[in-house]
Chains A and B, each alone.
Chain A
């Protein structure tokens, strides 16, 4: 066991972990943040996506020890109950959420995209969420939601 310390959603957290503990399990079981999901455990579905130092990574293939000292953002760190992030709002408004199991990972990927590229093409949006599987929506409304969010964040529409 070793103690690691990282910043999660803006808060410093210390946890005891074993080398083999995956970031996904630490986030869910130790930190109790259940928005990050298990969908495959092998990097293919993106349900476990979190931001590590601002970049989307797969928490199911990240050792918790390797996150020592770093900055993590999970879905719980995006928007607040009173003030949803525009991407969250756009997902709701565009009907991009069915079962919602893929949604946290999808929103994290979308946020990483829009943080770097406020005006993405549809092609760029599709590529940015290529690593996030959704079986319910067929992606149509998810792509539309990200376009809507981008527009709103650029102040072009409400």
Chain B
């Protein structure tokens, strides 16, 4: 492993000081002259056709400047999913339609002088709905005779992918490796479960926000809380039927995203209102709007059957998945694909069958959310592994170790499937999972606790421990790309122009560290400028945990280009061939003569003196494979047998993310993921009534606050991935994947009941405890 100067150090986040002072850095922190305020009218019905809509009164209200509805906007089928192009998600939405497909679907929008006038105007819009039967059960959605949610003739898949909207069936995936049936026959034990995860919202603290305006040249400028500025530009241009050159997207600081801002949910409407009114328009969602009308996690029903031999070898994995995408299908195929492609390579099992379907229902629109299908798949497999270990009487630690992939190995899944379709050969370039398991178990005191709780006395409070291993392949291989531009200034500093979109994780800092390391300069000499599509070059944006890895590679490549240019100028100045030169502490030194030039001398010479040139470079990288990040997670829970309440007492997560470019920031990703995961496992849940969300606010949808968190320990296990920037691998999502099964396994260990449906609410736990009691009473 290499020694680094700046990489691997927990330097302070470069924007932390400004954020700590509350500087106006977020989308909604600026005010424009003449700015209008937009509000959206949402559907009160789960499924209805709009017979007519009368906006005349709203339009007549003084202060109202524009009202949009299906009658007066272009009908452009598209997907809100911020993905590469052409998108693997169906084109099944238009800005406004004459049909609504869930409670909270868009009906109309108003721009007015004040939010209040806009709100009043919404109430003056008369909508004549023809209410249609709705379908909420994903397992019945594909049945013949179910209400067809997308009966419009223009919805389609742009790629040659499965798509059958007439049966509410929007994605289908089948993968088979080896001979799963024979695998099951060869098994000594066979385990079967139906595992279900539930809807959840990202709950980024900053609501989705957008301010759009026209610049003096008449170009559309969109300031938006987006994770994917370039995709946002493309989709806005598409929806508004403008060429991309007429659209500029600026991403200021973002108040958290977790996938919810990888979707174009505010920008198209806001921008359209600007086009109509020629004025700046502001659209900021309220918290209930964020809950209902942005995106959520895909709930899945996963029927899993696995087999193992007495010696602990897993012989077969069969998984049958129905994923519920809600009313529209952004990410419908790719999340499902990830449940297989990015989850199952963990297992050293040749015989795997995965059949998955994604269906439409008249429920909330699912989309990208930290974990992205891998979380669901890991929930199912994490439980199965525990159950198999239990069935053959092996410590789960040994069982996991025996059955998980190792460095240098490959999985047949890699070539069978990728997130977006056919996969590609790859092997695991680095894997410190065994160390993660050992170090995690030691810190957690796994064996000691297991022993202690095995013999705990009967009482109202029982404790237990559980563990799980995870893998998460980062980036979308062969599609995702990143570009970086750097230029040198007179003082030898650099502007680093990136579109890798920092949503809070700290990539502006991490990428500056990588750049500084690559050129051997202090961090202060990197002036990072994040995304403005007029200025910073193309990047996929913040998703698939890929920023550090992929944009980091692009940063290194850019730095290499810069280095070449610096050497060229320096070799002229020193009269020595470039081969003699090396970078050292913001200067160039000749290894032969020992002569030294400062970067500032080189910069001034190049700009002002001779053969004038701007030392600058742009370089790009695309993702060649899915770097594999591993974790081993351990939870200790306490179950109150009389109230059913589950409390997580302590949690240990050992992570192999390759080189942690900035350990503090990496830990932050893990801690945030774990707490979000525990909160999801125990308390977060949407409550529906006929498709309507009854709890779209923090009062009724509970997320953890500080007193709720357990003792938590993150262990960054050192490893080095040869494909990554300075050995780094992704870290944004992986830790969240394992929380549901780790807690479920710990509850099982505590009370002997297996919970295969999340969340593990007190009423569910208590009901199960009672049921078991009454079953035991009457054998």
Contact = CB atoms under 8 A, between A and B. Distances in A.
Contacts of B204: 99, 101, 135
B645 interface: no
Nearest to A109: B706
A57 interface: no
Contacts of A76: 21-22
Contact of A137 (B18, B671, B697, B707): B671
A89 B12 CA distance: 11
B585 interface: no
Given A136-B256, A138-B675, A39 B20 contact: no
Interface size class of B (residues with CB under 8 A): 35 or more
A39 B206 contact: yes
Contact of B712 (A33, A36, A140): A140
Interface string B304-328: 0000000000000000000000000
Contacts of A137: 668, 671-672
A93 to B, nearest CB: 7
A121 interface: no
B13 A142 contact: no
Contacts of B704: 139
A40 B697 contact: yes
Interface in A83-142: 84, 88-89, 91-93, 95, 97-104, 107, 123, 125-127, 129-142
Contacts of B10: 95
Interface in B684-707: 697-699, 703-707
B759 to A, nearest CB: 17
B255 A99 contact: yes
A39 B706 contact: no
30 contacts: A35-B24, A38-B207, A38-B284, A40-B698, A41-B287, A42-B699, A44-B699, A75-B21, A76-B21, A76-B22, A88-B20, A95-B10, A95-B12, A95-B13, A95-B664, A98-B13, A100-B25, A101-B206, A101-B255, A126-B707, A129-B706, A133-B205, A133-B705, A135-B205, A135-B676, A136-B205, A136-B668, A139-B671, A140-B671, A141-B668
A93 B12 CA distance: 6
Given A100-B504, A126-B707, A95 B667 contact: yes
A107 B506 CA distance: 20
Interface string A13-52: 0000000000000000100111111111111110100000
Given A41-B287, A79-B21, A99 B705 contact: no
Contact of A135 (B203, B286, B707): B203
A138 B21 contact: no
**Binding site secondary structure of chain A:** loop
B503 interface: yes
Question: Which of A43, A98, A102, A130 has most chain B Cβ within 10 Å?
Answer: A98
Contacts of B202: 135
Nearest to A146: B706
A87 B248 CA distance: 38
A32 B22 CA distance: 12
A143 interface: yes
B25 to A, nearest CB: 8
Question: Which of A39, A44, A101, A143 has most chain B Cβ within 10 Å?
Answer: A101
B533 to A, nearest CB: 21
Interface size class of A (residues with CB under 8 A): 35 or more
B698 A84 contact: no
Question: Which of A93, A136, A143 has most chain B Cβ within 10 Å?
Answer: A136
B638 to A, nearest CB: 17
A74 interface: yes
A116 B668 CA distance: 29
Given A100-B20, A135-B203, A135-B256, 18 more contacts: A34-B23, A35-B22, A37-B26, A38-B207, A40-B287, A42-B699, A76-B21, A84-B21, A92-B20, A97-B20, A99-B204, A100-B25, A130-B706, A133-B205, A138-B671, A138-B672, A138-B712, A141-B664
Given A125-B706, A136-B256, A102 B205 contact: yes
Contact of B676 (A93, A99, A132, A138): A138
Contact of B20 (A38, A91, A134, A140): A91
A110 B217 CA distance: 47
Question: Which of B16, B22, B202, B204 has most chain A Cβ within 10 Å?
Answer: B22
The 4 A-B residue pairs with the shortest CB-CB distance, nearest first, are A35-B22, A99-B504, A100-B19, A101-B255
A69 to B, nearest CB: 24
B85 to A, nearest CB: 28
B665 interface: yes
A156 interface: no
B254 interface: yes
A103 B20 CA distance: 6
Contacts of B20: 79, 84, 88-89, 91-92, 97, 100, 103, 107
A29 B665 CA distance: 33
B258 interface: yes
Interface in A63-87: 74-76, 79, 81, 84
Nearest to B504: A99
A116 B687 CA distance: 40
Given A39-B207, A40-B698, A135-B256, A100 B706 contact: no
B698 A34 contact: no
A134 B675 CA distance: 10
A137 B205 CA distance: 12
B579 interface: no
B505 interface: yes
B776 interface: no
B24 A34 contact: yes
B709 interface: yes
Contact of B253 (A79, A89, A100): A100
Interface in B132-160: none
A141 B665 CA distance: 10
Contact of A45 (B16, B21, B205, B667): B205
Contacts of B668: 95, 98, 136-138, 141
B674 interface: yes
A138 B674 contact: yes
B459 interface: no
B451 interface: no
Given A29-B31, A98-B505, A141-B668, A36 B287 contact: no
B698 A42 contact: yes
A37 B209 CA distance: 13
B763 interface: no
A153 to B, nearest CB: 16
